Amino acid sequence: MLEATLAERFTTLDDLPAYAQSRDAFLQAFTSPGAHDIVAAVETDVALVVAVLRLAGERHGATNGDIPSVAHAVNMLDGAELEACARAIPVFDPLEGVLAVQPGLDLLRLHASAAKAVAERLAEKAAWRERDELVAATLLHDIGKLALPRAGEGGPEGRPASTPEERVRAEREELGTDHAAAGAALARRWGLSERLAQAIEDHHEPGARGLAAMVRLADLLLHHAHGRPVELEEVVTMSAAVGLGRDGLGSLLYDGAQPFSPGSPCPLSEREHEILRRLATGGVYRQIAGELGISSSTVRNHLHRIYVKLGTVDRAQAVLMATEQGWI
């Protein structure tokens, strides 16, 4: 019964819709002189990541492992192929009502984006060289949650699971599988890199190593930053597995509660910094978009990334933090 349900859900996920504003930012990025803005736009949305990685594999006959990241895929595709991908992908807007096809998609997108920001900080602290591959794995690490039945549909319910480990155990006990295994199956179904699939599959395993350990540690650090229970012994174990010392881990744990200390380097890209600076001087979305030659939706997407990186929830908080830090 569950196998049939999963097979049906896998089929619906083959046409995963993207957030409308992310798709618009993807299209707008084609007016930029380089590939950086295209990669940044794709990495704002799980569905765009999947679509671009799949397209690169399909068009260029890549075998598993050949396309480890969005940056790699974008470099393999030409502008016409990328634009066709952007125009073909279905979109959704959570403000227009509940998304009937994939009810958990917007929450997954937000979690993935926040986890990406943590993973980027972790990569810096751990001197992890494959940043682009880590970003792709982190963005896709929970994709399997869309395939599993929700509570009330035969999924985990009535069980006081609180930590990530407890939730995975509950899934395995009640479903015979878990979202990590389902996510890996999806990645392989789509022909994605085997390293990405393996990292997705192992990101809740206590013995995770390499890329999977980095994804697992980023996820645990994000849960801790959001005030959710985690097993700190496991955080320490994963930290050691990726070569991150106690001082580096302590800094990341502290950053989760207070993202930046005085004198910290600005984590924003040049474009994000410029947009925040213009916001601080009273600029509005349309005005900033016109001055920078981009769309208002692109400005909003940059702002979303700014809020995630700074650990803030709105424009006022972001401007205040950046001002206090001397970044603007």
Last residue of a domain, one of 96, 119, 146: 96
Q: Look at residue 17 and tell me if it is in a domain.
A: yes
Q: Angle 261-265-271 (CA atoms, 0-180°, nearest 5)?
A: 125
* Each residue's pLDDT tens digit, 229-263: 888 888 898 999 999 988 888 888 876 644 455 56
Domain that residue 296 falls in? 270-325
Instruction: Give the separation between CA 91 and CA 47, rounded to whole angstroms.
Output: 9
Question: pTM above 0.85?
Answer: no
Residues 204 and 137 in one domain: yes
Residues 111 and 54 in one domain: no
Residues 88 and 6 in one domain: yes
Instruction: Give the separation between CA 90 and CA 16, rounded to whole angstroms.
Output: 7
3-state helix vs strand vs coil in the chain, percent to 5 = 65, 0, 35
Residues 130 and 244 in one domain: yes
* CATH number of the domain bearing residue 295: 1.10.10.10
Q: Look at residue 224 and tell me if it is in a domain.
A: yes
Last residue of a domain, one of 257, 283, 308: 257
Q: Look at residue 263 and tell me if it is in a domain.
A: no
Total domains, the chain: 3
Helix, strand or coil, per DSSP, at residue 19: strand
Residues 23 and 70 in one domain: yes
* Each residue's pLDDT tens digit, 123-157: 988 999 899 999 999 999 999 999 887 533 444 44
Indicate the average pLDDT of the chain.
82
pLDDT score, position 100: 45
Question: Is pLDDT above 90 for 214?
Answer: yes
* CATH number of the domain bearing residue 139: 1.10.3210.10
Last residue of a domain, one of 201, 222, 257: 257
Decide the pairing of beta strands 91-92 and 18-19. parallel
